[in-house]
């Protein structure tokens, strides 16, 4: 049994400590907003926050997550995340939408650290998040828009 703090709630999980956090979230805890895209840390669809930092949950084991504050798309709720989700609606970002949980978690982490990111900051922070629908044009605009919303 491993004790986890997910979205502010303590949970015990009966799984091999080497199980990726991704599958603990999805299969054991039924938090399916965090997506499986590649399983190798190459696409960012599984991005969650571990103590506020964006990590790939497919590369984070259950043991790694023990003792940390894990935040997922279902519960992310900060000034930055609200601005990001509002901007995603305004700019109509998602198409298939499957990568967007991860995009939003990465964008939120970026804005938490860098409230007014440059185009280069955005490319640097977001290039690990793949979108096969190529919504990148709108993600870029939406992050700038979220930064404006945070200032307001």
List the one residue from 139, 146, 149, 150 that touches another protein (CB under 8 A).
139
Instruction: Tell me if 118 contacts another protein by CB under 8 A.
Output: no
47-86 binders of another protein (CB under 8 A): 72-74, 85
φ/ψ (deg, to 5) at 33 = -65, -30
d(CA 2, CA 35): 22
Return the residue matching tokens 């709108």: 138
Instruction: Tell me if 40 contacts another protein by CB under 8 A.
Output: yes
Using DSSP's 3-state secondary structure scheme, residue 50 falls into: strand
List the one residue from 89, 116, 118, 148 that touches another protein (CB under 8 A).
89
Nearest distance from C-beta of residue 73 to another protein, angstroms: 3
d(CA 41, CA 60): 10
First to last CA, the chain: 45
The one segment of 49-57, 109-117, 131-139, 144-152 that binds another protein by CB under 8 A: 131-139
Q: What is the DSSP letter of 7?
A: T
List the one residue from 8, 9, 27, 118 that touches another protein (CB under 8 A).
27
- Size of the residue set binding another protein (CB under 8 A): 56
List the one residue from 51, 67, 134, 148 that touches another protein (CB under 8 A).
134
Nearest distance from C-beta of residue 44 to another protein, angstroms: 10
User: Biggest alpha carbon distance in the chain?
Assistant: 46
Instruction: Tell me if 36 contacts another protein by CB under 8 A.
Output: yes
CB atoms within 10 A of CB 62: 20
């Amino acid at each position: 049994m491993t004790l986890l703090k997910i979205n502010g709630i303590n949970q015990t999980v009966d799984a091999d400590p080497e199980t990726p956090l991704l599958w603990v979230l999805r299969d054991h805890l039924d938090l399916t907003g965090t997506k499986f895209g590649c399983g190798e840390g190459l696409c960012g669809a599984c991005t969650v926050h571990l103590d506020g930092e964006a990590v790939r949950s497919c590369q984070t084991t259950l043991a790694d997550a023990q003792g940390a504050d894990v935040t997922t798309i279902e519960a992310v709720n900060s000034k930055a995340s609200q601005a990001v989700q509002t901007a995603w609606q305004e700019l109509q970002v998602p198409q298939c939408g499957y990568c967007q949980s991860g995009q939003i978690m990465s964008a939120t982490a970026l804005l938490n650290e860098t409230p007014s990111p440059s185009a280069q900051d955005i490319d640097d922070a977001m290039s690990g998040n793949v979108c096969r629908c190529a919504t990148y044009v709108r993600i870029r605009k939406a992050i700038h828009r979220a930064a404006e919303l945070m200032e307001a």
